[in-house]
Structure 1
Amino acid sequence: MTTQLLICDDSNMARKQVARSLPDGWEVNISFVTNGQEAVTAIKEGKGDVLLLDLNMPVMDGYEVLEAIVKEDLPTLTVVISGDIQPEAHQRVKQLGALDFIQKPVNRKILTKLLADYGIYSQVEEVVEKPVPVIAQPVVQESEVVEASKEIVLAQEHRDCYQEIANVAMGRAGDLLARLLNVFVELPIPNVNLIEVSELSMALSAVEREESTSGICQGFISAGISGEALLILNDSSFTDIARLMKYDADIDEDAELELLMDMANVLIGACLKGFSEQLDLSFIQGHPVVLGQHRKISDLIASNSDRWQRTLAIEISYGIENYPIKCDLLLLFTEESMVTLNNKLAYLIED
């Protein structure tokens, strides 16, 4: 009997990765949806005997889908596949009725075993060999690199890939921060744009909210890639962070700088590691540089604008549940780096 399988994820790349990771020989009819609201509708239409569900989505997120399934008694078996790997996230989805949790990027062996363990897929079914798509890495001539650096654009397909890679990396960093502070970290949908330096302040306007901020910048390089990681923390967050870190000393400017460095070490390091693992590269990180303390974001950007021109900007806004803590991590890749990055993405994009 054919199983009606529903894959729900706002990322096209992630949906394809999950579909390619399904067990060989499993008789399924696959439907795809891009947010939780579409998932609930599809389940009601009989398209979701089994639901493979992302958590971090627009319109209706994965938690809300699980709540709707319970409230409306919808007939589906749910496995969550997410980049949010906090232990608290695992507990919450199971309390809401999910069978289990798999972290992104999905691993075929782990997914197959899990489906078999829950009796959703029988490993004794006839195994049908699936052709494995061979994705050739585009060959870029030196002359093409020079030309590309002049007219680089952010195609929607690449934007989707960068957003999904950032989503997974963000989850790794959020997990470390959650363990450090013993809290639940609220993860956003990463914001990906190719922007001018003059637009950086505008991109971060939601962080400022008329508050003063403190910032740290740390450069990073790899073969054909260079960029800056910028961490900005609202000054009003320091008191709560100090309390969560059980920091006993007086919270003066030196203490705030120490706390800012601690946050930067956790978030920047883990996020870059998450990127490097997915793209099969290695970053060398420079020494962190203090951009300023107790200043407006526009001032932080203006005084360091010589570091960035046109840039691929990936913005991640971390929040802490039940605390007014707000910090933004901005990964800024040089325009020239996008040639190498896009070549790397070719291995992750199905023809």
Structure 2
Amino acid sequence: MATQILICDDSAMARKQMARSLPPEWEVEVNYAANGQEGITAIREGKGEIVFLDLNMPVMDGYQVLTQVQQQDLPAMIIVVSGDIQAKAHERVKALGAIDFIQKPVNLDAIRTLLINYGILVPEETPVVEQTEQLTKADDDSPFVKVDLRDACQEVANVAMGQAADLLAKLLDVFVKLPIPNVNVLETSELTMALKSVEHENKASALCQGFIAAGVAGEALLMFYDGSFEEMAKLMGLDNPQDPDTEIEVLMDTGNVLVGAFLRGVFEQLHMSYSQSHPVVLGRHCNVSELINARINKWQRTLAMEINYQIESYNIRCDLLLLFTEDSIPTLNTKLSYLLD
């Protein structure tokens, strides 16, 4: 009898990658959920004997799913599959009952090894090429795995976001709270209205850093909000946290970590070499809309990735914004299509 598998992730690209990474010799029926609430419903209906669970989702996130499963003693073995690779994230999901943690992007070997180690899958020597083809075709036909450019970019940003947060968390010994990336392809005149960061009225200081690869170019903007500098300076062990020069040092050091790690995470997934310019301070103690508008007037259309980073238990918030030129979109489409084939 087939095992009921539930893939719970808000990203269609992640669901497709996960389904294609299941061992083809494993007799399963695959079910899908696009958020934690749908996931809990599926588990209650018996469609999630084994659950592959994302953490960052709308409506109900992975931590909330784990809490409900634990509190209600629901019959599900949960394996967390996430781009949030912080050590504290691992500790928290294990404490909430997850049997293990798999880092995104997933691959067949890692999943097969984990399933065998837990006795869920018994290795077989018989080739299973036909089963693999049938599973792939079923996945492609499912309405839960139709992937567009925005969804694919959001999943790429999700993985890169987790890598950057993990580096910052290790350097400062903190836990970085991660959002769902905000990704849009839009006219630059619409950009300011589309950004979540503009919803906050706080003023910010920002740096910008250009990047370029074969067929891809753009700029990264890091916006560090007023009120965050002093606590960040203390975490970094800097003297005179209220000094203007210290603010510049905080901005540059944070940018080196988050921008560098994020760009590396994006281009590693795209299998592309890239280069980046030196960071430049764009403005200090300005409105976010002013900082953004200062950089986008030369473009007509952009693909924007926005990440809102917050450090738990501290009044520290900064936003990372990646702006790709319109000319980059065809190359990104081509590269992302390789990830899905």
Q: Normalising TM by the smaller chain, what interval?
A: over 0.9
Question: Would the alpha carbon gap of residues 206 and 224 (structure 1) be closer, same or farther in structure 2, given more than 3 Å must change?
Answer: closer
Within the alignment, does 1:343 sit opposite 2:326 as a pair? no
- Find the aligned partners of 2:244 and 2:3 in 1 and give their Cα distance: 60
Hey, what does 2:63 align to over in structure 1? Answer: 63
Query: TM-score, normalising length from structure 1?
Result: 0.90
2:253 to 258, 262, 266: 262
Equivalent position SS for 1:219: strand
Contact 2:20 2:136 in 1 (8 A): no
Contact 1:36 1:65 in 2 (8 A): yes
Hey, what does 2:140 align to over in structure 1? Answer: none
Hey, what does 2:207 align to over in structure 1? Answer: 216
Within the alignment, does 1:119 sit opposite 2:119 as a pair? yes
The AA in structure 1 aligned to 2:302 is T
- Find the aligned partners of 2:152 and 2:185 in 1 and give their Cα distance: 14
Contact 1:204 1:297 in 2 (8 A): no
- Find the aligned partners of 1:94 and 1:313 in 2 and give their Cα distance: 34
Contact 1:220 1:227 in 2 (8 A): yes
Structure 1 residue 57: Cα displacement: 0.5
- Find the aligned partners of 1:70 and 1:225 in 2 and give their Cα distance: 45
Q: Number of matched residues? A: 330
- Find the aligned partners of 1:117 and 1:276 in 2 and give their Cα distance: 32
Hey, what does 2:19 align to over in structure 1? Answer: 19
Hey, what does 1:283 align to over in structure 2? Answer: 274
Within the alignment, does 1:195 sit opposite 2:163 as a pair? no
Hey, what does 2:229 align to over in structure 1? Answer: 238
Within the alignment, does 1:44 sit opposite 2:35 as a pair? no
Uncovered stretches (5+) of structure 1, i.e. residues with no partner:
135-154
- Find the aligned partners of 1:40 and 1:125 in 2 and give their Cα distance: 35
Within the alignment, does 1:302 sit opposite 2:296 as a pair? no
- Find the aligned partners of 1:250 and 1:179 in 2 and give their Cα distance: 21
Equivalent position SS for 1:26: coil
Question: Would the alpha carbon gap of residues 32 and 302 (structure 1) be closer, same or farther in structure 2, given more than 3 Å must change?
Answer: closer
Within the alignment, does 1:172 sit opposite 2:163 as a pair? yes
Hey, what does 1:140 align to over in structure 2? Answer: none
Contact 2:13 2:147 in 1 (8 A): no
Within the alignment, does 1:292 sit opposite 2:267 as a pair? no
Hey, what does 2:105 align to over in structure 1? Answer: 105
After the TM superposition, which of the residue ranges 192-201 and 164-173 deviates more from structure 2?
192-201
- Find the aligned partners of 1:88 and 1:298 in 2 and give their Cα distance: 34
Contact 1:291 1:300 in 2 (8 A): yes
Equivalent position SS for 2:122: coil
Query: TM-score, normalising length from structure 2?
Result: 0.92
Structure 1 residue 196: Cα displacement: 2.6
Contact 2:8 2:35 in 1 (8 A): yes
Uncovered stretches (5+) of structure 2, i.e. residues with no partner:
138-145
The AA in structure 2 aligned to 1:209 is H
Contact 2:241 2:247 in 1 (8 A): no
The AA in structure 2 aligned to 1:258 is E
Equivalent position SS for 1:173: helix
The AA in structure 1 aligned to 2:320 is L
Hey, what does 1:146 align to over in structure 2? Answer: none
Contact 1:208 1:296 in 2 (8 A): no
Hey, what does 1:32 align to over in structure 2? Answer: 32
Question: Would the alpha carbon gap of residues 242 and 301 (structure 1) be closer, same or farther in structure 2, given more than 3 Å must change?
Answer: same
- Find the aligned partners of 1:264 and 1:343 in 2 and give their Cα distance: 29
- Find the aligned partners of 1:29 and 1:250 in 2 and give their Cα distance: 56
Equivalent position SS for 1:304: helix
The AA in structure 2 aligned to 1:301 is I
Hey, what does 2:321 align to over in structure 1? Answer: 330
- Find the aligned partners of 2:136 and 2:55 in 1 and give their Cα distance: 28
- Find the aligned partners of 1:156 and 1:52 in 2 and give their Cα distance: 19
Summarize the alignment of residues 153-168 of structure 1 with structure 2, pairs less than 5 Å apart.
Answer: 157-168=148-159
Q: Per-residue CA shift, 1:104-125, capped at 9, x if unaligned?
A: 0002111101011111111137
- Find the aligned partners of 1:284 and 1:336 in 2 and give their Cα distance: 17
The AA in structure 2 aligned to 1:254 is D
- Find the aligned partners of 1:286 and 1:23 in 2 and give their Cα distance: 43
- Find the aligned partners of 1:346 and 1:191 in 2 and give their Cα distance: 20
Structure 1 residue 156: Cα displacement: 6.6
Equivalent position SS for 2:148: helix
- Find the aligned partners of 1:12 and 1:208 in 2 and give their Cα distance: 27
After the TM superposition, which of the residue ranges 161-170 and 189-198 deviates more from structure 2?
189-198
Q: Per-residue CA shift, 1:5-54, capped at 9, x if unaligned?
A: 11111111111111111113101111111111111111111111101111
- Find the aligned partners of 1:195 and 1:314 in 2 and give their Cα distance: 11
